[in-house]
Chain A
Amino acid sequence: MSEMHAPAAEKNRAAEIEAAAAEWLQRRSFWNWTAEDEAALEAWLAQSLAHRIAFWRLNAGFSRTDRLAALRPLQGTAEARRGSFSALAKFAAAFAMIAALGLGASLYVLQPRERTYTTGIGGHETIAFSDGTRIELNTDTVLSTRMTTRERMVWLKKGEAFFQVRHDPAHPFIVMAGNRRITDLGTKFSVHRDGARLEVAVVAGRVRFSPADGANDLQSALLTPGDVAVATPSSLMVTKKSTSDIANELGWRKGLLVFRHVALAAAIAEFNRYNTTKLVVADPAAAQMKIYGVFRADNVEDFTALAHMVLGLHVAHEGNTILLSR
């Protein structure tokens, strides 16, 4: 069968131009870029419409990958934001290294017997204990610990924390939250306390959910992976969620908010937990629009830009609030 060929001189012309455009673009994106470089690029672009089109195309496509920065690990940006590499981050790095080397995580951190840990809005801290237990504090959280040779007690005063507990039957690990007691039975789980509402989600292992002393008329429950318990001071409801749903809810551990068909109003409430700039949605119809995406918890701008582009919402800044409307 005969085939068709472009004339030799023209053959692969587009591929050559595209390669040159890609070379310009990678140089501009990743290397030292001077005024002379800019002038040279301008000259190359001015040579032909073909050059410009190839460059526009690659540049437009590659700009879309800006959003990949959302996947950046939190540690690096937290460092930049705070302007100092905290001892905590160094510890986390050392921990990761030792874990990676398979030497076992027998790290010892001197912990006072009783301590209170606090994060501000947008904060995120990890506490590592000498027994291998780790607690991650989410935004706007207050948590006290009492670690002794006999017991391991934690009080969640407000906010949200993720627990990875090294199980030890002789030294039970107990989280107190209001009139509830959460006892670890070898586990990874999160506890979120928002006013009178308490939510416990189990990722691995088992957790016993029971009334605190003196509240014995309340229900108890044994929670297994995928279980989400929602409690008020007088009620308890347990539902099952998929592991991916729970993983999404724990996106904050990576500095991310993950929304899968979540109403705009709920997504905004999540953002407002992490930011001092508060989002407000004006009309009820817009509040019901569904969001699907992954966002950096601390990047309200990205979110509002997308709300504008994708949902077609109007974005108005008023002091410390951002008003979204149709």
Chain B
Amino acid sequence: MTERSDTGRDNAEPSRSGAGVNASQLEAWFVREILPLEAELMQFLHHNWRNKSDITDLRQDIYERVCEAALEKIPDQPKAFLFRTARNLLVDRVRREHVVPFEAVADLDALGLVIEAANPERTAIARDELRRLQAALDRLPPRSRQAIVLGRIEGLAGHEIARRMGISESTVSIHLANGIRALVDILYGDPADVRRKP
């Protein structure tokens, strides 16, 4: 959370030599280059994978593979690298498990098109940030939404939120944690899919 705006943007690539990417460099790279692609990645996974309950696991596995590789060397083309990793992972899964219906991988060859698709203009996204945030908030489950609004907009601490909502502190924690997960899913992931249930 310390380096969001500047690191790596004005400077040269963090790992010119190809070795020695530290944790905060990796985090900054991941947040800057990979997370903004999550909506596209989720779209790709939904499109190419039948069992929707696997998708969070797949996403996490893909991120892990990407980050492990980035620890060695930061990829020159993050987007192409991310989708190549995603494709390879799906293919591995398909090979490992014999029960997969054939259609599940039918679209994999269309992937080239996905990779070539124009980069969404980040400027436009940032401009609409506040509006997006409000829209995301509006889509949270009611109790999570209330807890997040009290915490984030009114600036209350956890125990104050509990008092205001008339519920226990441990329940507030659950609502806050669920709210954070759902918000981040909406902000990065598939904007039409709120799948988190408390």
Question: Which residues of A are at the interface with B, using a C-beta cutoff of 8 A?
Answer: 1-6, 10-15, 17-19, 22-23, 25-27, 29-32, 49-50, 52-54, 56-72, 76, 292-294, 305-306, 308-311
- Mark contacts of B122-166 with chain A using CB atoms, 8 A cut-off: 1 yes-contact digit, 0 otherwise: 010011111001100100000000001001111101110100000
Across the interface, name the chain B residue whose C-beta is closest to A291: B127
Residue in A14, A27, A54, A69 with the greatest tally of chain B CB atoms within 10 Å: A14
Once A19-B181, A294-B130 are accepted as A-B contacts, the answer to whether A61 and B68 lie under 8 Å apart by CB is no
Contact A69 B153, beta carbon cutoff 8 Å:
yes
Contact A72 B153, beta carbon cutoff 8 Å:
yes
- Complex CA distance for A118 and B43, rounded to whole angstroms: 56
Q: List 6 A-B contacts (CB under 8 A).
A: A2-B99, A15-B56, A52-B23, A53-B64, A61-B183, A308-B5
What band does the interface of chain B fall in when counting residues whose beta carbon is under 8 Å from A? 35 or more
Contacts of B153 in A (CB 8 A): 68-69, 71-72
Closest CB in chain A relative to B165 CB, distance in Å: 13
* B80 close to chain A: CB less than 8 A: no
Contacts of A309 in B (CB 8 A): 5, 126
Contact B152 A65, beta carbon cutoff 8 Å:
yes
Contacts of B104 in A (CB 8 A): 4
Residue in B4, B59, B63, B93 with the greatest tally of chain A CB atoms within 10 Å: B63
Closest CB in chain B relative to A96 CB, distance in Å: 15
* B44 close to chain A: CB less than 8 A: no
- Mark contacts of B36-65 with chain A using CB atoms, 8 A cut-off: 1 yes-contact digit, 0 otherwise: 000000000000011101101101110110
Across the interface, name the chain B residue whose C-beta is closest to A12: B57
Closest CB in chain B relative to A313 CB, distance in Å: 12
- Complex CA distance for A23 and B174, rounded to whole angstroms: 8
Closest CB in chain A relative to B166 CB, distance in Å: 17
Residue in A59, A62, A63, A306 with the greatest tally of chain B CB atoms within 10 Å: A62
- Complex CA distance for A271 and B64, rounded to whole angstroms: 44
Once A4-B54, A53-B67 are accepted as A-B contacts, the answer to whether A22 and B181 lie under 8 Å apart by CB is yes
* B184 close to chain A: CB less than 8 A: yes
Contact A5 B181, beta carbon cutoff 8 Å:
no
- Complex CA distance for A310 and B130, rounded to whole angstroms: 13
Across the interface, name the chain A residue whose C-beta is closest to B5: A309
* B81 close to chain A: CB less than 8 A: no
Within B170-193, the residues touching A (CB, 8 Å) are 172-173, 176-178, 180-181, 183-184, 187-188
Contacts of A68 in B (CB 8 A): 130, 133-134, 137, 152-153
- Mark contacts of B69-104 with chain A using CB atoms, 8 A cut-off: 1 yes-contact digit, 0 otherwise: 000000000000000000000000110010111001
